[in-house]
Structures are given as structure tokens and as C-alpha cells.
Structure 1
Amino acid sequence: MRRLALITAAALCLTAPALAQDTEAEPDAPENERSLMEEGARMFLEGILREMEPALRDLEGMAGEIEPALRDFAQEMGPAFAELLGKVDDLSNYEMPEMLPNGDIIIRRKEPLDPETPLDPELDIEPGEEIEI
């Protein structure tokens, strides 16, 4: 039994230097190898892409179905939108929209208009005349 213990102890002593070697990269190793953090981030993003691939394919299919309707909408609403932008002039002249406690949404001008300037010179309404809304 003593011999077995001595042989085992000798074998362990001889293998200890081999186990004690550093496992770090050698100093002359190429610098383009990825660190563990980079490799983990790459694996994480690849996993997300694999998980999202079916949803992205569905979204692409849905976009193909909706495209004709969006084109029609743009053709119909394009002139009305251009007219609206003509009335608003420059959007940088206005503050951010605010919601009042009663639910109304107001958009204030940054610099109020000159009181001398009429708001809509084309509008000639006589008192008592009906206005179409």
C-alpha cells in the first residue's frame, strides 16, 4: 500500500509543472483575436437576430401588402398636405403642442403675429352671414 502511495505522489509531482503553465495568450499572438466580452456580445447579437428573423420576414411581407395602400394614400393626401404646409409656413415658428386639462391640444407661435396684420385677408364675412364649416 505504501508503494502505491509513493508512486501516486511521484506521478502527481511530475505532472504539477505541466498543469502550472499559463493558459494566457502568448505575447506574440495576433491582436485581431476577440476578447471574451466581444465574443459574448457577438453571440448574443447573433442569437437575437436568429430569434427576430421570423418576425422580420413577417414584417417584410406585411409591408409588401400595405405598400399599394400607402401609395394611394400619398397620392390622395399629397396635395392637401402641401396646402396645409403652405398655411403653417415654417414649423420652427411654433412651440411644441400642449394638451390642456380639458383635452384640447394647442400649438402656440413662438413670436406672436403683428396685431396690425390680418389673419386671413381673403375672408370677407358680413355680420349675420352663415359660415360653412
Structure 2
Amino acid sequence: MIQHRHITSRLGLALGVCLALAGPPLSAQETPTENNGADGPSLMERGMELFFEGLRREMEPTLEEAARLLSEVGPSMRSFLAEMGPALAEIADQVEDWSVYEMPEILPNGDIIIRRKDPKPEPAPDPQPDDSIEL
């Protein structure tokens, strides 16, 4: 579930950037000195257009792969969350700190084990007044 959230948030971020880049570029208000009084985009605007066009082209294969992955995984994830969602929510309510657990391990039989990390060693008890240490 944690990995699913991480993947989903990364896909959402990538799709958001793609949508922002796919739209027309935002332009600032021009003053006659920005483009020497000529009609058309300033050098800064043209540079930004070229930058975003190049970025969009670079991201296109990744975004197509993300869309394909989402179309393949989406239906199975929906059914998984419908079946397991309540149980996972109950577990999440019981666990106070996920950092004390190892990454989940999938056994050959399909069981999933989430082991607790080795506990911190208990501190040594304070010496009692009747205990003496010879030097």
C-alpha cells in the first residue's frame, strides 16, 4: 500500500507536469522594451517555448508508458482496494510508527510478512548504591 501510494503520487506528478506542458505556454505582459517594439514573442518567451517543447518531447515516452501501466494496473488495483481496503485501514490504525518495520516480504507461497526491525538494546540499569566498582 505504501509503495502503491508512492507510485501513484509519482504518476500523478508526472501527469500533472505533462498536462501543464501540453497546454499553451503562459506569457507575461510585454512592454515595448522587452521585444524592441516588434510584434510577436520576445526572445525570453521564445526561449521558454523551446524549452517546454523540448521537455514535452523528452517526457512523452515516459508519460505514454505511465498511461499504459495505469491502464493495465488500474482495474486490478481497484478490485484489490475494494477487497483489502478495510483490512488495510484497520492495520494502519493499529500501527503507530511504520519506521519500526522492515519492508514487506512476499514468501513463495504468496504470504506477505512485515517483520518488526530489531528492537533497540535496552539501556543498562543504573548501578545501585551497594554495588561498588574497584579500580
Larger of the two Rg values belongs to structure? 1
Superposition TM-score, scaled by structure 1 size: 0.40
Which structure ranks higher in relative contact order (CA pairs < 8 Å, sequence separation ≥ 6)? 2
